[in-house]
């Protein structure tokens, strides 16, 4: 990503927020801002970055917005109350709350989680429709339609560009946290395709979560989410070989882990656990810190990790949390008890490749290579991730 690209990503929510405060029409304004960002991406590398890039973008976007309005006769009366900012003057309107407000708007309760993700990446992240489609390996038209419907839903709901009432704030922030987590998770371990990781998504999720944390540093779960992302992403260099093949956690070269990121994430979660009410993201970050701090796989504090998963399972019960707890349990109590718990989980995660991958590992540990091989093969058939598929097939071949 070039410096201009980074600048445009940072300015995108500020420009959109500045215009929404006067226009209020999310659908039209967001389209106009996207066109301004595209114009800047084409012109600035040639002509140079203007002295006041934010004001330049606001001017171009505002002019485009007026053009859109003029093409719709029903909105002609609104031209009289619009204005443009001169490109050579800085924008006097503060954008300090724009990122937070936009995140809350994009995570409107009328939208599905996938629509919230797509709209967040577009409006707050500044990604183009093509970039979002590429990241999720779907046609550009599919993402375009989803974003268009999301903006129409927000418009129909009558939502305005302002923070929600205090009574709704916690619920809306919880949705924002979950959307950012979904973006990061898809980037960290892609659900399909030829690459295990999609760096553009993990980087964007971390960037947006940093911005959210700077707006509401008192939110312990936002801090926990940021720590979880940083600690997980610290292992990125060691998670694949040069050919893109998956390297499991236990076999990773920990010298390649990002020590600075581990230090940052560990310090953040340590401070947060000491001052905030404990929540699920904080617990997951604490687990990630224990993995990252272990000098070798053999040094991992599995009893403490198991205890944290037991607490996490009580705070935020769910099949994937239980599956992770079962893995930790096997490392503390052995594979037999873990297999029994896994049998009770199979119905809620039927068809998920990771259940069969975990079962294969436990069967192998308990001394049943034939059954383990069958489970590895089944897991390989179920995953849509090519690196995971190849890894699981290699595990099955090893037991032949």
Residue pLDDT, tens place only, 57-95: 999 988 888 887 666 544 444 344 334 434 444 443 344
Buried b (16+ CB within 10 A) or exposed e, 278-317: bbbbbbbbbbbbbbbeeeeeeebebeebbebbeebbeeee
Query: What is the rounded CA–CA span in Å between residue 175 and residue 171?
Result: 7
pLDDT in tens, 321-351: 999 999 999 999 999 989 989 988 766 677 7
> What b/e string do you get for 166-199 counting C-beta neighbours within 10 Å, with b at 16 or more?
eeeeeebbebbbbbbbbbbbbbbbbeeeeebbbe
Q: In whole angstroms, what is the distance from residue 294 CA to residue 289 CA?
A: 9
pLDDT of residue 364: 96
Q: Where are the domains of the chain?
A: 4-81, 96-216
Return the closest-CA partner of residue 19 out of 55, 73, 70: 55
In this predicted model, what pLDDT tens digit does every residue of 3-60 receive, in sequence order? 898 888 888 888 888 888 777 678 888 888 888 988 998 899 989 999 999 999 999 9
The closest of 65, 55, 49, 124 to 92, measured between CA atoms, is 55
Structure tokens at 299: 């040094």
Question: How far is residue 346 from each of residues 62, 154, 340, measured CA to CA in Å?
Answer: 54, 38, 11
Nearest residue to 59 via CA among 37, 85, 40, 41: 85
pTM: 0.81
Contact 38/128 with Cβ under 8 angstroms?
yes
Residue written as tokens 């995140």?
103
CA distances from residue 157 to 67, 160, 363, 397 in whole angstroms, order as listed:
25, 9, 52, 55
The Cβ of residue 352 has, within 10 Å, a number of other Cβ atoms equal to 18
Structure tokens at 305: 């990790």
- SS3 call for 348: coil
């Amino acid at each position: 990503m070039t410096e201009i690209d980074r600048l445009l990503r940072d300015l995108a929510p500020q420009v959109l927020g500045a215009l929404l405060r006067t226009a209020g029409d999310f659908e039209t304004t967001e389209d106009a801002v996207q066109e301004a960002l595209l114009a800047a991406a084409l012109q600035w590398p040639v002509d140079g970055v203007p002295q006041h890039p934010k004001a330049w973008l606001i001017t171009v976007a505002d002019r485009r917005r007026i053009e859109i309005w003029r093409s719709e006769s029903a909105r002609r009366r609104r031209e009289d109350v619009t204005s443009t900012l001169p490109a050579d003057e800085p924008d006097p309107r503060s954008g300090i709350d724009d990122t937070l407000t936009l995140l809350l708007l994009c995570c409107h309760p009328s939208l599905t989680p996938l629509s919230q993700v797509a709209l967040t990446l577009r409006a707050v992240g500044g990604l183009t429709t093509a970039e979002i489609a590429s990241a999720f390996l779907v046609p550009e038209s599919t993402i375009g339609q989803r974003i268009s419907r999301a903006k129409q839903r927000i418009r129909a709901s009558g939502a305005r560009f302002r923070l929600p009432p205090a009574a709704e704030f916690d619920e809306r922030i919880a949705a924002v946290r979950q959307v950012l987590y979904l973006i990061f998770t898809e980037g960290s371990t892609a659900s399909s395709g030829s690459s295990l990781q999609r760096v553009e998504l993990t980087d964007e999720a971390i960037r947006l979560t940093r911005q959210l944390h700077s707006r509401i540093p008192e939110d312990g779960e936002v801090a926990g989410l940021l720590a979880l992302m940083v600690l997980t992403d610290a292992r990125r260099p060691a998670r694949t070989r040069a050919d893109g093949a998956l390297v499991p956690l236990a076999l990773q070269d920990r010298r390649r882990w990002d020590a600075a990121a581990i230090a940052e994430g560990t310090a953040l979660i340590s401070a947060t656990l000491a001052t905030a009410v404990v929540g699920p993201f904080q617990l997951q970050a604490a687990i990630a810190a224990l993995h990252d701090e272990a000098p070798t796989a053999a040094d991992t504090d599995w009893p403490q990790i198991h205890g944290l998963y037991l607490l996490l399972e009580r705070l935020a019960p769910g099949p994937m949390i239980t599956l992770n707890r079962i893995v930790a349990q096997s490392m503390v109590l052995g594979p037999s008890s873990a297999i029994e718990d896994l049998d009770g989980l199979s119905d809620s995660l039927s068809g998920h490749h990771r259940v069969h991958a975990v079962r294969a590992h436990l069967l192998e540990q308990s001394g049943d290579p034939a059954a383990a091989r069958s489970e590895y093969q089944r897991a390989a058939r179920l995953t849509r991730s090519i690196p995971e598929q190849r890894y699981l097939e290699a595990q099955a071949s090893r037991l032949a």
